[in-house]
C-alpha cells in the first residue's frame, strides 16, 4: 500500500473513532459516583444537560426558582450523606442558588452547586458576555471549596474533588463552575472514560485519640448533674444504635436540638426536652455531640446557663477549630460521631455509675409540671385557632404517623412546633437550622419526598411559605405525597399591626383572609380551608392517607403570635422615645 493510501486509511480510522463531549462526561462522572437525582432550573447554557441526564437515567427535578432547588439538594445531602446536586444557569441563576449553597455550608449539609458560566477570556477582560460574572470568585468565600473546569479531560477529576470536599470532614457546600464552551468540547470516548474517577472512601472515619476518650469519661464520671446535648450533626452521622446504647448505659439525661429530635424518641425516659431551661442552668457537666455552642445555645454562657465556672463542657466534633469557640472545652474529642460514640461506649466499662436519683428525679418532676401546664392549651378547639390548639392536633398526627417527614419553618410556627410536636425517629424533622433562614420549606419538602419515599407534612407560617410558595406547582407536577399546612394569621408574627403614618398597610400585614388553598387547586392539587383543630386533624389525616399533593389553609387568630417568636430579643430597640 502506498504512503498516500496508508494516510487515507488512518484518517478514516480516526474519523470513525467514537467521540464524547463535555455534556456526556459530566453526566457519566456523576453516574459513576452514584448520583441518581439532580435538582435545578433549566436555561442557557445547561438546558440540554438536563435533557441528556434524563435520557441517561438520572432523575432531574425541575423547580421554579434556583434557591428552592438548592435547598432541595442540600437537604438531600443531609438525608443521604451523599452530596445533593443542584444545577443552575449562569449569573442570576447562580446567585439564586448561592444562598442555598451558603446555607448548606453553615448547616454542614453536603451539596454541590453546578452552574454554567461565561467564557474566561471574555469575563477576565470584562467584555460584556451574556450574563457575564466571575462566579468562582463570588462562590469561594461562601462554601467549603470551589473549582472551575476548562478542559473536558479534567471533568472526572473535578467531580471527584467536589464530592470528596462536600462529604469529608465537616460536610458542606461545594461550587463547580462549568463554562459554556466546556460542554461542547469533544474528545475520544475511550480516553474520556479513562479520565473519570470513582471516589473511594470519600468520608473516611476519623478515630478519636484514646487519651481524649479517657479524659471525657473521667469528666463524666465525676459529674453530679450531667447532661448530653445532641445536635443535627449527631443525627447526620446515622450512628443511631450506638448513640442510644450510650445514653441508656450511661443513664445521662439528654436534650435534642430541633433537627436532632427523634434521634431518641422525645418521649424517652431520659429525655429532658420538657425541662430544657432547668437542665441547661443546673447541669454541672454538659457533653455536646454534633452540636455547636452558637446562638441557638446562647453561646454557652449568660442567663440561660449556670454561673460562670460552675459548668464543664465535653465536646465531640469532627472539626478541631470548633473547640473553645465560645467557652472553654475541658474535654475535646475530635473525630466522626460514630467512631467517638463507639469509643465512649466501650470506655464506660462494666462499673459505670449512673447519675443520682436526685438529679434525674428533679428533671422528671419539672417535666411533669411543664407537660401538665401545657396540656390544656394543646387540647383547645377554638375558632379561629391559636397556635397551640392547631399544633396540638398536628402533634397527634405525628404520634400516629412517626415515619412521616416533618418540615417546619416560620416564626411562632417554628418556635412553638419544635417544643410541642414530639418526634420518634431520627432525621424526620427538618427545619431552618443554624441560620434560621426562611424559605427552605418547599425545597425541603420536595427532596424529602423524593429521597425517602415517605409522606411529608410541611407546617409553614404564612410568611415563610411566601418565600417558596410557587413550588406547590412543582409538588403537583411530580405528584408528590406532600401535605402543606399554612398557619394563616394574616401577617408576619401576627396580622394586627397598624400603620399610623399613611394609608399603606403595616409592613408586617398581609391581605386579610387570604386563601392559600386556592393556589394548590389552581395546579390540580387538593386545597382545604379549616378553622378548628378538629377540622385540621381530619384534613391532614385525609391528605396523608391519600398521598396526594394537598394544601390546608389553617385560619389562625390574627392576634395570635408574638414578635419574632421566641427570639424577639434579637431585634434592636430604638434608643429614641416616642413623643
Domains of the chain (ranges, CATH numbers) = 14-195 (3.40.50.970), 210-364 (3.40.50.1220), 379-564 (3.40.50.970)
Cα-based distances in Å from 219 to 188, 222, 417, 472, 569:
61, 5, 34, 51, 34
From CA 437, how far away is CA 433, in angstroms rounded?
A: 8
HSE of 391 in the Cβ direction (CA atoms, 13 Å)? 26
Strand partners, 468: none
Residues 6+ apart with CB under 8 A from 350: none
Phi/psi-derived region of residue 8, left when phi > 0, alpha when psi is between -120 and 50, beta in every other case = alpha
Nearest-CA neighbor of 46 among 180, 186, 181?
180
Grid cell of 7 as nine digits: 494516510
What gap in Å lies between CA 149 and CA 22, rounded to an integer? 10
- What pLDDT sits at residue 45? 87
**Three-state DSSP class for residue 18:** coil
Cβ proximity of 184 and 220 under 8 Å:
no
Report the predicted TM-score, pTM, of the whole model to 2 decimal places: 0.94
The bridge status of strand 226-230 relative to strand 285-289 is parallel
Asked if residue 59 lies in contact with residue 36, where contact means CB atoms within 8 angstroms, the answer is yes
Residues 6+ positions from 99 with CB-CB distance below 8 Å: 67, 70, 437
Contact criterion met (CB below 8 Å) for 41 and 64: yes
Does residue 156 contact residue 150 with C-beta atoms inside 8 Å? no
Q: Which residues contact 266 (CB under 8 A, 6 or more apart)?
A: 256, 273, 422, 423, 424
Q: What is the pLDDT along the chain (579 residues), one digit of tens a residue?
A: 565 555 545 444 455 689 999 999 999 999 999 999 999 999 988 999 999 999 999 999 999 999 999 999 999 999 999 999 999 999 999 999 999 999 999 999 999 999 999 888 888 888 888 888 999 999 999 999 999 999 999 999 999 999 999 999 999 999 999 999 999 999 999 999 999 999 999 999 999 999 999 999 999 999 999 999 999 999 999 999 999 999 999 999 999 999 999 999 999 999 999 999 999 999 999 999 999 999 999 999 999 999 998 999 999 999 999 999 999 999 999 999 999 999 999 999 887 889 999 999 999 999 999 999 999 999 999 999 999 999 999 999 999 999 999 999 999 999 999 999 999 999 999 999 999 999 999 999 999 999 999 999 999 999 999 999 999 999 999 999 999 999 999 999 999 999 999 999 999 999 999 999 999 999 999 999 999 999 999 999 999 999 999 999 999 999 998 887 667 777 776 777 554
For 99, the enclosing helix (H) or strand (E) is helix 92-107
C-alpha–C-alpha distance, residues 45 and 89, integer Å: 6
> How is residue 516 written as a grid cell?
392559600
b/e 32-65 (16+ beta carbons within 10 angstroms → b): bbebebbbbbbbebbeebbebbeeeebebbbbbb
- CA-wise closest residue to 436 among 237, 281, 174, 257: 257
Phi, psi dihedrals of residue 198, rounded to the nearest 5°: -95, 120
- Strands (DSSP E) contained in 198-290 are 226-230, 254-256, 285-289
Q: How far apart are CA 389 and CA 420, in angstroms?
A: 10
Amino acid at each position: 500500500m502506498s504512503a498516500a493510501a496508508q494516510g487515507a486509511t488512518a484518517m478514516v480510522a480516526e474519523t470513525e473513532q467514537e467521540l464524547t463531549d463535555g455534556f456526556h462526561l459530566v453526566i457519566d462522572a456523576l453516574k459513576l459516583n452514584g448520583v441518581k437525582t439532580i435538582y435545578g432550573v433549566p436555561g442557557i447554557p445547561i438546558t440540554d444537560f438536563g435533557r441528556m441526564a434524563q435520557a441517561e437515567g438520572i432523575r432531574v427535578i425541575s423547580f421554579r426558582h434556583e434557591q428552592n432547588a438548592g435547598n432541595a439538594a442540600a437537604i438531600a445531602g443531609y438525608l443521604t450523606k451523599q452530596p445533593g446536586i443542584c444545577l443552575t444557569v449562569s449569573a442570576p441563576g447562580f446567585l439564586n442558588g448561592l444562598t442555598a449553597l451558603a446555607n448548606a455550608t453553615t448547616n454542614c449539609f453536603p451539596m454541590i452547586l453546578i452552574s454554567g458560566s461565561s467564557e474566561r477570556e471574555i469575563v477576565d477582560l470584562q467584555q460584556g458576555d451574556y450574563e457575564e460574572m466571575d462566579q468562582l470568585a463570588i462562590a469561594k468565600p461562601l462554601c467549603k471549596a470551589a473549582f472551575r473546569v476548562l478542559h473536558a479531560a479534567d471533568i472526572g477529576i473535578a467531580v471527584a474533588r467536589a464530592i470528596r470536599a462536600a462529604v469529608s470532614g465537616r460536610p458542606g457546600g461545594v461550587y463547580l463552575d462549568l463554562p459554556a464552551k466546556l460542554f461542547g468540547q469533544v474528545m475520544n470516548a475511550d480516553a474520556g472514560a479513562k479520565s473519570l474517577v470513582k471516589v473511594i472512601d470519600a468520608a473516611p472515619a476519623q478515630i478519636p485519640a484514646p487519651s481524649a476518650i479517657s479524659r471525657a469519661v473521667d469528666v463524666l464520671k465525676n459529674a453530679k448533674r450531667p447532661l448530653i446535648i445532641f445536635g443535627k450533626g449527631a443525627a447526620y452521622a446515622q450512628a443511631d444504635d450506638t448513640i442510644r446504647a450510650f445514653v441508656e448505659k450511661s443513664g445521662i439525661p439528654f436534650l435534642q436540638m430541633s433537627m436532632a429530635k427523634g434521634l431518641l424518641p422525645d418521649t424517652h425516659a431520659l429525655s429532658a426536652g420538657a425541662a430544657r431551661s432547668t437542665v441547661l442552668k443546673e447541669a454541672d457537666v454538659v457533653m455536646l455531640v454534633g452540636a455547636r455552642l452558637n446562638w441557638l445555645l446562647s453561646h454557652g454562657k449568660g442567663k440561660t446557663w449556670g454561673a460562670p465556672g460552675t459548668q464543664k463542657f465535653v465536646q465531640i466534633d469532627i472539626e478541631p477549630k470548633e473547640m473553645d469557640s465560645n467557652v472553654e472545652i475541658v474535654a475535646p474529642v475530635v473525630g466522626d460521631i460514630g467512631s467517638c460514640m463507639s469509643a465512649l461506649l466501650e470506655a464506660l466499662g462494666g462499673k459505670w455509675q449512673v447519675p443520682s436519683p436526685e438529679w434525674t428525679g428533679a428533671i422528671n418532676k419539672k417535666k411533669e409540671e411543664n407537660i401538665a401546664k401545657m396540656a390544656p392549651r394543646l387540647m383547645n378547639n377554638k375558632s379561629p385557632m391559636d397556635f397551640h390548639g392547631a399544633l396540638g392536633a398536628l402533634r397527634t398526627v405525628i404520634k400516629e404517623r412517626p415515619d412521616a417527614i416533618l418540615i417546619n419553618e416560620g416564626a411562632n410556627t417554628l418556635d412553638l412546633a419544635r417544643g410541642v410536636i414530639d418526634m420518634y425517629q431520627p432525621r424526620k424533622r427538618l427545619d431552618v437550622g443554624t441560620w434560621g433562614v426562611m424559605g427552605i420549606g418547599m425545597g425541603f419538602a420536595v427532596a424529602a419526598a423524593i429521597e425517602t419515599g415517605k409522606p411529608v407534612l410541611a407546617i409553614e407560617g404564612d410568611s415563610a411559605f411566601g418565600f417558596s410558595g410557587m413550588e406547590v406547582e412543582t409538588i403537583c407536577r411530580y405528584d408528590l405525597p406532600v401535605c402543606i399546612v399554612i398557619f394563616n394569621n394574616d401577617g408576619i408574627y401576627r396580622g394586627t399591626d397598624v400603620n399610623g403614618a399613611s394609608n399603606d398597610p403595616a409592613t408586617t400585614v398581609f391581605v386579610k383572609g387570604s386563601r392559600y388553598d386556592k393556589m394548590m387547586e389552581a395546579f390540580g392539587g387538593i386545597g382545604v380551608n379549616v378553622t378548628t383543630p378538629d377540622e385540621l386533624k381530619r384534613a391532614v389525616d385525609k391528605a396523608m392517607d391519600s398521598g396526594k399533593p394537598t394544601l390546608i389553609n389553617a385560619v389562625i387568630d390574627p392576634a395570635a403570635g408574638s414578635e419574632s417568636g421566641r427570639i424577639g430579643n434579637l431585634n434592636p430597640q430604638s434608643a429614641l422615645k416616642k413623643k
